[in-house]
Amino acid sequence: MPVDANLLPPIVLTFAASDPTGGAGLQADLLTLASMGCHPLSVVTGLTVQDTTGVEGVLAIDAGWVADQARALLEDMPVAVFKFGMLGSVESIAAIAEIVNDYPDIPLVFDPVLASGRGDQLADDEMVDAMVGLLLPRTTILTPNSLEAMRLASDDDNEDDAPSLSECARRLVDAGAEFVLVTGTHENTPQVANTLYGRSGRVREDSWERLPGSYHGSGCTLASAIAANLANGLEIEEAVRDAQDYTWHALAAGFRPGMGQYIPDRFFWARGEEASRDD
C-alpha cells in the first residue's frame, strides 16, 4: 500500500549526538519533538560520556556512517524539517551538507553546538569554518546563543574584531542563513531577550523572566521546538515565538536528577497538579 502522508505525524530528522543524561543533544531533540506531536528520525553524529556536572568524553561517528544513516531514512520517509545539533567532525559536516543540498525544499533549523552550557568544547575552529561555509547557505534559521554568534561571525585573523550581536547576525545572514535567532541567556541582563533577525534586519524580540539555576539542554529544546512548529505548519515568526514559550515552561518545570544542572521537563504539560515541583 502506498504511504499516505496525510495520515502521518509530521516527521523531523535530527542530526545530533547522544547525551546519556537525557538533558541535551539527541535525547533532548527526541523528547521535544515527540512532546510537540512530531515523529523524530535521528542520525547519530557522535556519542558523549557525561553526567549532569560535565562532559568527560566525545566520540565523533565516522562520516560515512553518518551519511548512510541519513540516506537510508530519506529514501524511505517524507521529512518535513531538518534539525542540526552537535555534528561531530568536519568530515560529517561536509557529508551532511551534500545530503541536505539534495533536498533544497526541506526547511533546516541549525543549532550551532560549539560548547556545552558548562563550557565543554564540542566543536573546533575547523568545524566552525565548515559550518559557516557549508551549512549556513542552506540554513532556514540559525539559533546561536550570543557566544556562539560571536564565534561564528568574528574574523579569526583580526583579534580586534568585536562585532555587536546585531552585526554578528547581519554577517551570519550575509553568509547565507535566512533567519538568525540570537538567544540572550548568556548576557548579563535582568531578563533573557531573544532577537530574531532576517534579511531586512531585526524582525522581533521576545523577553522572558530569567529563571534561577543552571539548565542543561535549553538550546536543544528551543531549536527542536522551532523545528516541530515549522513541521506543524507555523510560519517562522510564530514558530519562534511559540517555541520560546514552550521552552520557558519546560525550564520552569525543570528538575535536578543528579548533582549538577537542572534538566528541562519537555513533558511539563502532561503532568498532573500533584507533579508540581514548587517545593
Q: Which residues bind ligand PXL (CB under 6 A)?
A: 17, 19, 24-25, 48, 50, 55, 85-86, 113, 116-117, 217, 219-220
Residue type at position 193: A
Alpha helix ranges (H) inside 77-145 = 90-101, 125-130
The radius of gyration of the chain from alpha carbons, rounded to an integer in Å, stands at 18
**Sole residue written with cell 552537535:** 86
Nearer CB in complex with ligand PXL: 170/220? 220
269: enclosing H helix or E strand: none
**Sole residue written with cell 548533582:** 259
Closest by CA position to 152, among listed 128, 181, 185, 183: 128
Nearer CB in complex with ligand PXL: 50/244? 50
Smallest gap, in angstroms, from Cβ of residue 231 to ligand PXL?
20
Closest by CA position to 117, among listed 258, 2, 263: 263
Nearer CB in complex with ligand PXL: 17/180? 17
Nearer CB in complex with ligand PXL: 170/222? 222
Nearer CB in complex with ligand PXL: 22/107? 22
Smallest gap, in angstroms, from Cβ of residue 23 to ligand PXL?
7
Smallest gap, in angstroms, from Cβ of residue 275 to ligand PXL?
25
Smallest gap, in angstroms, from Cβ of residue 204 to ligand PXL?
24
Smallest gap, in angstroms, from Cβ of residue 255 to ligand PXL?
17
- How far apart are alpha carbons 220 and 111 in whole angstroms? 7
